[in-house]
Structure 1
């Protein structure tokens, strides 16, 4: 029987109180005890241990917390067959992406889950999500970082919270779900077949311990003043710019955007260009309003990556090297299916 380590971090699943006053108070021990008591299907599925590095609302989750979660997985990696991270839904996609970069090519599954309703709510989705996460973590074919939620298994770099209240809160962005779980059966797609062999052949994942959190998402809106790039220089090393449509950046007579953006990257900072449209990704070569930025040194193209993955990957890349060429090489290397343009 496999042994799974559950890492409790807080979130709605651990919350108690009335609406408007919900706060994470249940410990990992209480969550596991309640799950074992109320979900008889767990009997004989796995041995279950837990740790509780934090108990916070996921709104308060920060890059330093990502590193802490990753360190618990690293130090316990050889002792367990898989890991389930209990996490609030609001920033779960960011944490799943971050763990995908901090722990690469893991032959063991690292699963994130949570719930839209607290564990103690009579109509909670917490029990099913926890059970299905453990079921997936115990399966021989499971590996790498993923989110299991509402019967869907989503690659850790492709998840996006699409709904604030419904149980099917997450969607898989520009990439098929890894699997669905129905009637206690895992029905897999072929999306990760080749990668599965790579992970299973690796004896151990690659762990990384550095992030640089000085990355900001900036969303273009009509008449956004490009002087904002100058204001951001004090506090940020990278900007992830969400452009219009497939990659449109305003082209005014004074060339103010082009000047501001080129000045930003020519000063040694990083610019990642993406689109504020959720689906189908970026292509700077389609319209003249984007073509000027397609090949300028220091400008990275986000392709069809999610914003959550772009934030986490940019922080990871900045944490590994200060060399622009090395940053570009790391950024364009696909990790856990985060981009499909190469």
Structure 2
């Protein structure tokens, strides 16, 4: 039989209890064999306990440990399934997609909205679909949820109380597991597997909103090494100085202090185009980096990694704007800003 590594990290799927009591960790492996015996008919499954955490406790240090562990183990398996809580699932999937390159087998993350031990749980089907995806899906980091397979770094959690909790707004699904299971080819390996496990968590995610006092993010600059800015629409933010809320000083001071600023959009679909409006163009002139259509979670983790492996502003900008693991839709580079010469300006004389 094909071999699948099932790495448990925690989350609702492996918990017990419910309302009115809080969910609590349980003996996940025992429950798995009782509630989903079909898994062991699909593959020779090796169970490993990495952690037993609520996903709100997942941190970059754990991502690095997890990536290093998977890098050492995955070549011995036909596929890998990682069980995880849903709240930070997209962050972990993004992190693993950047840290594990050119995979020898699929790495599929999954979770559930209800614990495996409950009668109306979605965990059982998510586990079965994930094992199938780990055996037949593309060789990249994905999220399998509610009979769909998504590219991990393109996925967002969009619902709290429904089973179709995840979507991929700017990239098509990589698999559909209905009556038939169909999969897209996905990413192609370009060589032997590679590990990039180092991250610098000193990155801040700032969401622009009306009334934001620029003094607050400016005070953060001495304490961070990177900034991801969730701007309006195509990359807009206030630059009118009349009310004292222009964010342009944030970009200029960040550039002076060598802190890269990546701009992503608050909009659910499409992405940033810093050449479209005045504020975006001003940010670009001040050194801002377009995050294109990356999700905020992918942009945060990618910046955590980029500032470790790349030192110069040019190298950081180039890496952020390059698709490393399918996280970004590549578009032609924007044209440089035109330079106007006063002696070429024509005036009409009476």
Is TM (by shorter chain) over 0.5?
A: yes
- Post-superposition Cα deviations, 1:234-289, rounded to whole Å, max 9, x if no partner, equal 32111111111211111213584212321112211111111111111111111112
Given the alignment of the two structures, is residue 340 of structure 1 paired with residue 329 of structure 2, yes or no? yes
Corresponding residue pairs, total: 329
SS at match of 1:138: helix
| Structure 1 Cα separation of the partners of residues 232 and 218 of structure 2 | 21
Larger radius of gyration: 2
1:252-267 matches, within 5 Å, as 252-253=240-241, 256-267=246-257
Q: Distance in 1 between matches of 2:85 and 2:301?
A: 17
Query: What residue in structure 2 maps to residue 63 of structure 1?
Result: 60
Q: Could you tell me which residue of structure 1 aligns to residue 131 of structure 2?
A: 134
TM-score w.r.t. the length of structure 2 is 0.89
State the SS of the aligned residue for 1:279: coil
CA distance in 2, matches of 1:138, 1:246: 39
Q: TM-score, normalising length from structure 1?
A: 0.91
- Matched residue, 1:175: 171
Q: Distance in 2 between matches of 1:63 and 1:313?
A: 12
The reply on whether 1:95 has 2:92 as its aligned counterpart is yes
Q: CA RMSD in A?
A: 1.8
Counterparts of 1:94 and 1:331, CA distance in 2? 17
Match status 1:50 vs 2:40 = no
Give the match for residue 278 of structure 2: 288
Task: Describe the SS at the equivalent of 1:330.
Answer: helix
Q: CA deviation at 1:20?
A: 5.1
Runs of 5+ consecutive residues of structure 1 not aligned to the other structure = none
Shift, 1:336, TM fit: 2.2
Q: Name the structure 1 match of 2:8.
A: 8
Residue number among 117, 132, 155 corresponding to 1:159 in the alignment = 155
Query: 1:116 aligned to 2:113?
Result: yes
Partner SS, residue 149 of structure 2: strand
What CA distance in whole angstroms lies between the structure 2 residues aligned with 1:315 and 1:4?
A: 30
Give me the whole-angstrom Cα distance separating, in 1, the residues matched to 2:72 and 2:35: 25
CA-CA distance at 1:86 after TM superposition: 0.2
CA contact (8 A) 1:66 1:99 kept: yes
SS in 2 for 1:175: coil
The superposition leaves residues 2-29 of structure 1 with CA deviations (integer Å, 9 ceiling, x where unpaired) of 1111010110001112325333422442
Secondary structure at 2:10's aligned position in 1? coil
SS of residue matched to 2:238: coil
